[in-house]
Amino acid sequence: MNGRWIKGLMAISALSGFIWLGGLGWTLQDYFAGAVDTPAAPAPVEEETAPPIPDDGKFRVVALGDSLTRGAGDPDGKGYVGYMTDELKTKAADQDVLVNNYGFDGMRTPELTSSLAKPAVRAELKAADVIVVSIGGNDLFRSGETLGNLDPGYIATIQEAYLNDLDGVLKELRTLNASAELFLIGLYNPFIARENAETTTKIVRDWNYRAAETAADYPDTVLVPTLDLFQLKIQDYLALDQFHPNAEGYKLIGERVASLITWEEESE
């Protein structure tokens, strides 16, 4: 009786031995041959120029920029772009509003420059009625790194680089689309309730001022301030990460931008 049990065990063991040997063989085959039959050549590059988008009477908004545009910190993920759109839709119910959001978390200005080279983005920008851009927060704060180095010389260096890149971005945007209203979202100071608040707020204020000066060189380009919105009751408007706005904070920004958008199309 005991003997049959052990023989059964041996049979199962032998069988599983072959299974695992098979698994090993599959791994080797997959590891060494698998890499070969994936296409070595990169996927065909997108056509160099996307077809132009016809004017179909829709009100087109293109949003570019960092996590604020993306909506990080908002449980619903709408971000200021979402609340701005909500507001626009209630303002003019008969108008089709079309939003293209190209924002992603962590975007810095050089990355914005390179994303402006994408044909699809360029086509959308050319057809846009309104362009909103939130950029600079990551250039300045660098995931909080800058807080450890508030030396004016250092800030001046990154600020110069930023302004230079920003100028390039605005120039490119205006080349693509000379008529759209362009809103540049100013920075707020998420660290206003922490130590060195005076220094950080001064840096942000100065940053916004210089950005506004750069924007002033271009027509219909508006720097929308947000520093004041978050100045007094910061804790009510920040998300759990203590950096991004929460839904309420995004609503404030979205409503402010929406209030600046005028409806010339309607009167036509």
Is 20 or 263 the residue whose CB approaches other proteins more closely?
Answer: 20
| Interface pattern 69-88 for other proteins (x via CB under 8 A) | -xx---xxx-----------
CB of 31 to other proteins, least distance (A): 5
Residues 96-115, interacting with other proteins (CB under 8 A): 101-105, 107, 111-112, 114-115
For 179, residues 6+ apart whose C-beta sits below 8 A from its C-beta are 220
CB of 130 to other proteins, least distance (A): 18
DSSP state of 53: P
Q: Does 7 bind other proteins (CB under 8 A)?
A: yes
- Measured CA to CA, the distance from residue 197 to residue 267 in angstroms comes to 46
Range list of β-strands (E), 210-255:
221-224
Per CB under 8 A, the segment of 63-71, 133-141, 149-157, 249-257 that binds other proteins is 63-71
Amino acid at position 102, single letter: Y
CB count in 10 Å sphere of residue 181: 19
Q: Rg (Cα) of the chain, in Å, rounded?
A: 26
- Measured CA to CA, the distance from residue 229 to residue 203 in angstroms comes to 17
Q: Does 44 bind other proteins (CB under 8 A)?
A: no
How many residues touch other proteins under the rule CB under 8 A: the total is 48
195 to each of 64, 179, 187, how far by Cα in Å? 32, 43, 19
List residues near other proteins by CB under 8 A. 3, 6-7, 9-10, 12-14, 16-17, 19-28, 30-32, 34-35, 38, 42-43, 64, 70-71, 75-77, 101-105, 107, 111-112, 114-115, 117-118, 120-121
